[in-house]
């Protein structure tokens, strides 16, 4: 059994909402290039998920809508969340989205078969898509389909969402399933899309306590973000006893990211991936699928964030400095798109951002204190 599988093929570049859209396929080439400089060689090209596989969570009527938009993008009235705005239609929308889904589902299959312990699908993590609606740059919810694949194989699945935006689609799709625990740590919905993810969202009647949300204050940094993750994830894993871990590693919480208001550094991302690896081995027999997600600084942040996920799954330390050849290859592009200079170090300097204000740290600590005990008590009830 090999350690970690990296899911990627150039078909990822076809998931493309257009040149002015924040979720740009430009992020793939510098990121995959950086992974290759680190020694990544075990790649699996994503396959296209079948309609039947997608219909495990999405309605057949919605799949038909996506297919029609992809065949003729501009001759349909806005429908099911597809249209001007976050999810504009594009040629081949169904096929591109189905490949993202197939990448995550296929990675779970490889883990279930015992071929690998860990897998990482950087193109995945499209966590906002609902059963019959696109949302937040997400057409099909690949990461939820991956959870369902593991769930259908008899596993208790723990899903950890680290994106700056609440993982609302994945939460909704498993709202009343007691065998899927979702933990989302994100900027509060009072100040950021999708306007949900509050502590009182705890799951349906059959699954109370298995949907856990930690909404953080704008301006939160490494300190209280990491404290929230460290306080919740290990305790929830111990109470829930998962046998399969799925995670979403949106890096739009970084201080450089243009779309949100958290102020994290790659130091926090490194610590988070190590913690998740520990949960995978302590509770899940090593079974862990990681996915990408949001991240809109395609040169300074996304490549390092994705590399840190892969390095954690490989049980390797990140190098102190980034390969100079990589920096040279991508310097012009990063400058052209206003995301320069490229960093020299994998881990951001400790003083990249100012320390959090005391009132932010205190508010976040209170959020964790209010959310965790109730969730643990309710989860204990679902396990009886």
Are 290 and 373 spatial neighbours (Cβ–Cβ below 8 Å)? no
Strand-by-strand arrangement of the 2-7 sheet: 43-44, 2-7, 116-121, 288-291, 244-248, 157-161, 180-187, 211-216
Q: Rounded CA gap, 33 and 357, in Å?
A: 37
* Residue carrying the six token digits 């779309």: 259
Three-state DSSP state, 291:
strand
Distance from CA of residue 92 to its chain's centroid? 23
For 295, how many CA atoms within 13 A lie in the half-sphere containing its CB? 31
CB atoms near residue 363 (< 10 Å): 16
Q: Rounded CA gap, 133 and 63, in Å?
A: 10
What size, in residues, is the chain? Answer: 384
Residues identified as active-site: 128
């Amino acid at each position: 059994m090999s350690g970690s599988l990296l899911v990627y093929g150039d078909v990822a570049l076809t998931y493309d909402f257009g040149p002015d859209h924040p979720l740009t396929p430009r992020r793939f080439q510098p990121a995959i290039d950086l992974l290759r400089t680190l020694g990544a060689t075990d790649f699996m090209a994503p396959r296209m998920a079948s309609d039947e596989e997608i219909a495990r969570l999405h309605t057949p009527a919605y799949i038909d809508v996506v297919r029609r938009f992809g065949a003729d993008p501009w001759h349909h009235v806005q429908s099911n969340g597809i249209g001007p705005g976050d999810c504009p239609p594009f040629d081949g929308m169904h096929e591109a989205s189905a490949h993202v889904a197939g990448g995550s589902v296929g990675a779970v299959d490889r883990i279930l078969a015992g071929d690998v312990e860990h897998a990482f699908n950087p193109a995945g993590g499209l966590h906002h898509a609902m059963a019959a609606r696109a949302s937040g740059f997400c057409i099909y919810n690949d990461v939820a389909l991956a959870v369902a694949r593991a769930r259908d194989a008899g596993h208790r699945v723990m899903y950890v969402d680290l994106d700056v935006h609440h993982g609302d689609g994945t939460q909704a799709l498993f709202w009343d399933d007691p065998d899927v625990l979702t933990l989302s740590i994100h900027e509060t919905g009072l100040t950021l899309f999708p306007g949900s993810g509050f502590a009182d969202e705890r799951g349906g009647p059959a699954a109370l306590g298995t949907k856990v949300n930690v909404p953080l204050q704008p301006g939160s940094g490494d300190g209280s973000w990491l404290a929230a993750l460290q306080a919740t994830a290990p305790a929830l894993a111990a109470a829930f006893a998962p046998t399969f871990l799925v995670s979403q590693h949106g890096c739009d919480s970084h201080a450089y990211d243009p779309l949100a208001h958290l102020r994290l550094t790659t130091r926090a991302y490194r610590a988070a991936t190590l913690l998740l690896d520990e949960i995978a081995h302590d509770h899940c027999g090593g079974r862990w699928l990681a996915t990408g997600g949001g991240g809109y600084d395609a040169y300074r942040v996304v490549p390092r964030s994705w590399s840190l996920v892969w390095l954690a799954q490989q049980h390797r330390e990140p190098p102190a400095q980034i390969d100079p050849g990589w920096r040279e290859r991508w310097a012009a592009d990063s400058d052209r798109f206003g995301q320069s200079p490229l960093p020299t170090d994998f881990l951001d300097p400790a003083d990249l951002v100012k320390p959090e204000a005391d009132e932010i740290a205190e508010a976040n600590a209170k959020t964790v204190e209010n959310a965790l005990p109730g969730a643990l008590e309710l989860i204990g009830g679902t396990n009886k």
